């Protein structure tokens, strides 16, 4: 496998997303599996196209894994890894160290921990001690409260409060913050929530959910205080609302 690209520190990334169900490319509205759009495209070819356009990192979610608790799309993930050299982060069903290790062994650069890490912060701390910045925390929120288990369970803990408490115990942590109510809806990211998270010490943030225009990406740039690492864009790319090439061009000025 060829050497993978390395990114300058603090570079603001536009990260295209591929969500997988049964090996196919899909997008859900607000995380609801009954509101699914399936795209008749080859998953590996989509990943290759994103890399050709200049993407430096790809966000992959195993939605079957998120709902079931164990990854279900490893062959598709392995094929994406085989045909691309960009960095890849994978989440969905990563609820123990063995699963994370399998993904690392496939050549995946980062694992996104969600349910297990949110419900058992000691597990998260252990993974951070062993794997450092290869671990990303997936912080999904519904009305400000943490949501787990494929967005089917809402915890009685506010995302900001959880991260603020966690920040005192970690040296650094990258967090993907997803506002579930906006995911797949093109209603713009939750800028207010992101502003609150960006002041939490020791935390860097990747925004997710709601991007529907290039203007959303420009506005995210105005929030960037060196701790906003990037934005994940999914359905807006598939539906043609956002051009990845244009979005990447905007990111260079952030």
Residue 250 and residue 254: Cα distance in Å, rounded? Answer: 7
Say which residues have a Cβ less than 8 Å from residue 193's Cβ, sequence separation at least 6.
Answer: 141, 144, 159, 160, 177, 179
Q: Are 57 and 86 in contact (CB under 8 A)?
A: yes
d(CA 107, CA 105): 5
What residues does 60 pair with on adjacent strands? 18, 90
Tokens matching residue 248 = 């990447």
E-strand ranges in 22-80 read 24-29, 32-39, 57-62
CB burial class (10 A; 0-12, 13-18, 19+) of residue 166? buried
**CB of 80 within 8 A of CB of 40?**
no
C-alpha span between 89 and 108 (Å, rounded): 6
Structure tokens of 167? Answer: 């920040």
Spatial contact of 20 and 76, defined as CB atoms under 8 Å apart: yes
Catalytic residues: 19, 140
Q: End-to-end CA distance of the chain, in Å?
A: 32
Instruction: Please state, as a whole number, how many other Cβ atoms lie within 10 Å of the Cβ of residue 104.
Output: 15
The DSSP call for residue 2 is P
């Amino acid at each position: 496998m060829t050497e993978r690209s390395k990114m300058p520190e603090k570079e603001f990334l536009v990260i295209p997303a591929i969500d997988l169900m049964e090996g196919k490319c899909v997008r859900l509205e607000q995380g609801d599996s009954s509101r699914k759009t399936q795209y008749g495209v080859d998953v590996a070819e989509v990943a290759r196209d994103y890399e050709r356009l200049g993407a430096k990192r790809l966000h992959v979610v195993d939605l079957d894994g998120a709902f079931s608790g164990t990854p279900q799309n490893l062959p598709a993930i392995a094929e994406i890894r085989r045909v691309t050299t960009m960095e890849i982060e994978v989440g969905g069903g990563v609820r123990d160290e063995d699963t994370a290790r399998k993904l690392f062994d496939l050549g995946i650069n980062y694992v996104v921990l969600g349910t297990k890490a949110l419900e058992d912060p000691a597990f998260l701390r252990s993974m951070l001690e062993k794997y450092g910045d290869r671990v990303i925390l997936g912080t999904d929120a519904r009305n400000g409260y943490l949501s787990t288990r494929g967005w089917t369970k809402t915890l009685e803990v506010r995302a900001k409060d959880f991260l603020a408490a966690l920040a005192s115990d970690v040296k650094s942590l990258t967090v993907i913050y997803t506002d579930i109510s906006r995911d797949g809806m093109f209603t713009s990211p939750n800028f207010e929530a992101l502003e609150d998270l960006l002041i939490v010490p020791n935390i860097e943030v990747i925004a997710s959910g709601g991007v529907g225009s290039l203007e959303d990406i420009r506005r995210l740039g105005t929030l960037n205080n060196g701790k906003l690492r990037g934005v994940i864009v999914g359905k807006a790319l598939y539906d043609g609302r956002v051009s990845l090439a244009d979005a990447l061009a905007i990111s260079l000025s952030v």
